Amino acid sequence: MLAVQGLVKSFGRNHVLRGVDLTVEKGESLVIIGGSGSGKSVTIKCLMGFIMPDAGTLTLDGESLVGRSGRARDALNQRFGMLFQHAALLDSLPVWENVMFAPLRFGGISRREARKAAAGWLERVGLDEGIAAELPGGLSTGAQKRIGLARAIAGEPDVLLFDEPTTGLDALVGRQIDGLIRSTIDDLGAAAITITHNIASARRIGDRVAMLYEGKIAWTGPSAGLMESGDPLVDQFVHGRLEGPIPVPALPED
């Protein structure tokens, strides 16, 4: 189980996280929603060890994720798979090496075996083996996202993190990616955290949804009840209303 308790992080005078509490069970999919700058990405970066929190505990099956560096952190990160907002594929490596990066390093397999295995992972995310030798820079955003997903799951991790998985995709491809993410979570039985602005996507991917507001979890509940939560903050956010407890900066009048 992945547990976050009292997570606090500030950047100078900007207090981004003010005590975030979360738990995600194995096989469960939690989606975090919230406005821009609400601290969704910072939460995920703290989980991955990219950012050191100021206070709070982060544990995976009881093992602390905070304060680990070097090989100890590397060993922990092998239990995580992450799909980045813009896929973040390594430009200098062909698609198959991107997908099999972690298994090549830690799985004790040869390059020939990895090349073969990559075809299977690519097929699993709906891509043809024919693109395996291409460099990722020339591929469409949708294809890059799928490759990023294949890379995230190729190490068969215990925890999957998805950072704005449908950003930059049209509605149809976005829906496909959501379906892939959901089926991947179910197949691997991994604990998953997705952060997104996209409410339709949150409902498709998540078992539970948590809303982050002013650095804290303001609401959490089943994704099926997201649209009728009864919480004024959540209602305003998911229905996109300008009036409500969340202040919306006024635009200058013409």
Partner 1 sequence: MINPLAALGRVTLSLFEAIGRVTLFALTGLAHAVRPPFFWRNYARHMVEIGYLSLPVVALTTLFSGMVLALQSYSGFSRFSAEGAVAMVVVLSITRELAPVLAGLMVAGRIGAAMAAEIGTMRVTEQIDALEALSTNPYSYLVAPRIVAGLLMMPVLVLVGDIIGVFGGYIVGVSKLGFNASNYLTQTWDVLETEDVVSGLTKAAVYGFIVTLMGCYHGYHSTGGAQGVGRATTQAVVSSAILILIANYFVTELFFSK
The dihedrals phi and psi of 149, each to the nearest 5 degrees, come to: -70, -45
**The binder of partner 1 chosen from 85, 141, 167, 236 (CB under 8 A):** 85
Our measurement of the distance from residue 249's CA atom to the centroid of its chain's CA atoms, rounded to an integer in Å, reads: 28
Q: Considering the complex, state which of residue 108 and residue 249 has its C-beta at the smaller distance from partner 1.
A: 108
Size of the site for partner 1 (CB under 8 A): 25
Measured from the CB of residue 104, what is the shortest distance to partner 1 in angstroms?
10
82 binds partner 1 (CB under 8 A): yes
**The binder of partner 1 chosen from 17, 29, 33, 84 (CB under 8 A):** 84
Q: Considering the complex, state which of residue 59 and residue 101 has its C-beta at the smaller distance from partner 1.
A: 101
Q: What gap in Å lies between CA 24 and CA 30, rounded to an integer?
A: 7
106 binds partner 1 (CB under 8 A): yes
Q: What gap in Å lies between CA 27 and CA 92, rounded to an integer?
A: 34
DSSP code for 253 = P
For 62-121, the DSSP string reads TEE-TT--HHHHHHHHTTEEEEBTTB---TTS-HHHHHTHHHHHHS---HHHHHHHHHHH
Measured from the CB of residue 82, what is the shortest distance to partner 1 in angstroms?
5
48 binds partner 1 (CB under 8 A): yes
Quick one: which segment of 20-28, 87-95, 112-120, 166-174 binds partner 1 (CB under 8 A)? 87-95
Q: Which one, of 214, 238, 212, lies nearest residue 227 by Cα? A: 238
**What is the contact surface with partner 1 in residues (CB under 8 A)?**
45, 48-50, 70, 73-75, 77-78, 80, 82, 84-86, 88-92, 101-102, 105-106, 151
